[in-house]
C-alpha cells in the first residue's frame, strides 16, 4: 500500500471522552471512528487487524474440529420467549417489530439460535459431538458503553457452541477449547491468565475466563505466584454484596471476603492484578436444550437433551486489548500477529531520486515476498511522518534518509525504539530476518 493512496486519517485530537490508551490511539491513528455511543466504524487499518485476529481464530478452531457457520443477526423473539431469557436479558436486548408486527431481537449472543439450528437435525448420539462457531456482530444495548472497542454496544464476537451425549465428553471438549483459546491469545502476542469465573448455579470449574493482563482492565483477579491458578475475585464473594464501584487494590480486600486466601492448588500466595476479559468458556449443561426441547436418541433409543458448552471470544475487544498491553506515550505498538502492516518504508525526502529508487525497490521486493508493507511516499516533513508511524505502531520502519549517500539505511524497531544501521545492499535480507 502507498501511504499517498491509503485511507489512514490520523489526527492529533483524541475523542473528548477517551480515557483508555486503546480508545485514544485507535481513534487518533485512524483505525476507528465513533458513530454514536458504543457504535464504531472500522477503517482500513482496523479491518486488517480484525482479519488477522479472525484468521488465527479460524486456524485454531479448525485444529479442534469446530465448524464455522453464520447465523442471522436478527433473531425471532419467539426463541427468546421459549428459552425464558427474554425478560432476564432486560434492556440490553434490543427488540423491534417488523412490518408484520412480529417481534424480533438483535442477537446479543446466540445460544437459542444455535440450539434451534441443531435441534431436529442432529437426532442421534452417533452424530455427536458437534462444535459449531461463528464470528459475528453482536448487539447489546449496554447501559454505559465506554472505553472505545472495549465495551461497545455493537461488537464482534467469536461464539461457539458444542453438543454432547455425556458430561465426560463435554469435559474433554471444554479442555480442548481452553487449550485452543490459550494458543490463540499466545499467538496474538498477549500476556494472559485463564481464571475461574463465577459460574452461578452451575458451580465448580464450569466457567473460565481468559484475561489479558492490563492495569486498565475492568476485572479484578487473584493470581497465584507459584502456579497457573487464577480466579476472578467474583468467585470469592457474593456479587450482590459488592458495591457497584468496587475496585480491589490490595490483598486485604480479598482477605475480608475470604479468610483463607492461599492458592487452592499449591502452597503459593494469591496476589491481585487486573485483567481484560477477552474470552469466556462455559459448561452450559442442559439448560438450553431442555428449555428448547432439543433432544437426540441415545444408544437405547431414549430421547435425551443435548449436553452443551459455549465458548465466546471478544474479537473487537481483542483489538483494544492488544493496545492496552502494548503502547507507549507515542502510540500503538502492534505485535507481529496483529500488525496491520509489518514494515513501513519511510522515504525521508521524496524529491531525492536515489531515496525513491531504493524505497521502491525494497517495496516491490517485500510485496513479492508476501510481506505486509506500506511505503510512506508523502511529501511531508520527516519528523511528521515518523510521529505518524509511531502513532500507528508498525513493528518496523525502514528509514531511507541522508545516510543513503554513504550506502546506509536504518531500521527503526517500534517496540525498543532502537535504530539499527544497515548496509543498503543487505536491507531486504535484514528485514526478512526480523519479521
Q: According to CB under 6 A, which one of 114, 157, 185, 422 is a site residue for ligand ADP?
A: 157
How many residues at the interface with ligand ADP, by CB under 6 A?
15
Assess 309 for contact with ligand ADP (CB under 6 A). Answer: no
Q: Which is nearer to ligand ADP, 335 or 365 (CB)?
A: 335
Q: Report the nearest approach of Mg ion to the CB of residue 280 (Å).
A: 4
Assess 280 for contact with Mg ion (CB under 5 A). Answer: yes
Which span (148-156, 169-177, 244-252, 323-331) binds ligand ADP, by CB under 6 A? 148-156
Assess 210 for contact with Zn ion (CB under 5 A). Answer: no
Which residue lies nearest Mg ion, judged by its C-beta?
Answer: 280
Assess 265 for contact with Zn ion (CB under 5 A). Answer: yes
Q: Which is nearer to Mg ion, 151 or 280 (CB)?
A: 280
Q: According to CB under 6 A, which one of 48, 140, 274, 326 is a site residue for ligand ADP?
A: 140
Q: Report the nearest approach of Zn ion to the CB of residue 237 (Å).
A: 20
Assess 314 for contact with ligand ADP (CB under 6 A). Answer: yes
Q: Report the nearest approach of Zn ion to the CB of residue 222 (Å).
A: 10
Q: Report the nearest approach of Mg ion to the CB of residue 113 (Å).
A: 18
Assess 54 for contact with ligand ADP (CB under 6 A). Answer: no
Assess 194 for contact with ligand ADP (CB under 6 A). Answer: no
Q: According to CB under 6 A, which one of 280, 283, 385, 414 is a site residue for ligand ADP?
A: 280
Question: Cα–Cα–Cα angle for 114, 117, 121, nearest 5°?
Answer: 135
Cβ-contact 198, 190 below 8 angstroms: no
Q: According to CB under 6 A, which one of 112, 277, 295, 410 is a site residue for ligand ADP?
A: 277
Which span (279-287, 294-302, 361-369, 393-401) binds Mg ion, by CB under 5 A? 279-287
Q: Do strands 103-106 and 74-76 pair parallel, antiparallel, or not at all (unpaired)?
A: antiparallel
Q: Report the nearest approach of Mg ion to the CB of residue 277 (Å).
A: 6
Assess 152 for contact with ligand ADP (CB under 6 A). Answer: yes
For 70, 81, 220, 300, the CA distances from 100, given in Å and listed in that order, are 25, 18, 46, 44
Q: How many angstroms separate the CA atoms of 54 and 184, rounded?
A: 10
Q: Report the nearest approach of ligand ADP to the CB of residue 210 (Å).
A: 7
Assess 278 for contact with ligand ADP (CB under 6 A). Answer: yes
**Contact residues for 61 (Cβ-Cβ < 8 A; gap 6+):** 68, 133, 158, 160, 180
Q: Which is nearer to ligand ADP, 222 or 278 (CB)?
A: 278
Assess 230 for contact with Zn ion (CB under 5 A). Answer: no
Positions in the binding site for Zn ion (CB under 5 A): 224, 226-227, 229, 263, 265-266, 268
Residues binding ligand ADP (CB under 6 A): 109, 140, 142, 151-152, 155, 157, 277-280, 312, 314, 316-317
Chain contacts with Mg ion (rule: CB under 5 A): 280
Amino acid at each position: 500500500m502507498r501511504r499517498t493512496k491509503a485511507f489512514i486519517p490520523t489526527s492529533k485530537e483524541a475523542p473528548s471522552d477517551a480515557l483508555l490508551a486503546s480508545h485514544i490511539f485507535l481513534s487518533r491513528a485512524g483505525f476507528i471512528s465513533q458513530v454514536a455511543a458504543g457504535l464504531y466504524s472500522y477503517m482500513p487499518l482496523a479491518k486488517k487487524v480484525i482479519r488477522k485476529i479472525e484468521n488465527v481464530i479460524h486456524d485454531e478452531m479448525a485444529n479442534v474440529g469446530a465448524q464455522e457457520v453464520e447465523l442471522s443477526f436478527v433473531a425471532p423473539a419467539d426463541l427468546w420467549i421459549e428459552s425464558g431469557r427474554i425478560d432476564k436479558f432486560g434492556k440490553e436486548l434490543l427488540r423491534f417489530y417488523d412490518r408484520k408486527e412480529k417481534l424480533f431481537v438483535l442477537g446479543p449472543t446466540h445460544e437459542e439460535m444455535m440450539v434451534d439450528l441443531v435441534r431436529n437435525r442432529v437426532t442421534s448420539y452417533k452424530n455427536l459431538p458437534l462444535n459449531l462457531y461463528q464470528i459475528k456482530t453482536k448487539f447489546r444495548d449496554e447501559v454505559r458503553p465506554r472505553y472505545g472497542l472495549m465495551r461497545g454496544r455493537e461488537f464482534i464476537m467469536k461464539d461457539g457452541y458444542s453438543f454432547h451425549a455425556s458430561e465426560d465428553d463435554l469435559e474433554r471438549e471444554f479442555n480442548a477449547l481452553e487449550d485452543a483459546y490459550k494458543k490463540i491469545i499466545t499467538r496474538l502476542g498477549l500476556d494472559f491468565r485463564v481464571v475461574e469465573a463465577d459460574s452461578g448455579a452451575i458451580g465448580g470449574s464450569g466457567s473460565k475466563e481468559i484475561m489479558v493482563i492490563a492495569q486498565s482492565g475492568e476485572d479484578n483477579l487473584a493470581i497465584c505466584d507459584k502456579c497457573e491458578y487464577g480466579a476472578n475475585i467474583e468467585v470469592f464473594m457474593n456479587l450482590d454484596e459488592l458495591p457497584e464501584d468496587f475496585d480491589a487494590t490490595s490483598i486485604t480486600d480479598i482477605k475480608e471476603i475470604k479468610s483463607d486466601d492461599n492458592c487452592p492448588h499449591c502452597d503459593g500466595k494469591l496476589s491481585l492484578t487486573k485483567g481484560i476479559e477477552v474470552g469466556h468458556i462455559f459448561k452450559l449443561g442442559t439448560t438450553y436444550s431442555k428449555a428448547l426441547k432439543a433432544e437426540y436418541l441415545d444408544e437405547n433409543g431414549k430421547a435425551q437433551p443435548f449436553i452443551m458448552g459455549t465458548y465466546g471470544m471478544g474479537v473487537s475487544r481483542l483489538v483494544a486489548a492488544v493496545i492496552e498491553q502494548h503502547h507507549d506515550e507515542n502510540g500503538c505498538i502492534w505485535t507481529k500477529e496483529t500488525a496491520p502492516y509489518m514494515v513501513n518504508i519511510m522515504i525521508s525526502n521524496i524529491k531525492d531520486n536515489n531515496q525513491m529508487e531504493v524505497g521502491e525497490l525494497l517495496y516491490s521486493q517485500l510485496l513479492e515476498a508476501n510481506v505486509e508493507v506500506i511505503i510512506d511516499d508523502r511529501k511531508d516533513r520527516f519528523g511528521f511522518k515518523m510521529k505518524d508511524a509511531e502513532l500507528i505502531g508498525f513493528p518496523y520502519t525502514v528509514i531511507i534518509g541522508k545516510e543513503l549517500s554513504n550506502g546506509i539505511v536504518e531500521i527503526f524497531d517500534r517496540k525498543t525504539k532502537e535504530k539499527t544501521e544497515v548496509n543498503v545492499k543487505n536491507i531486504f535480507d535484514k528485514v526478512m530476518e526480523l519479521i
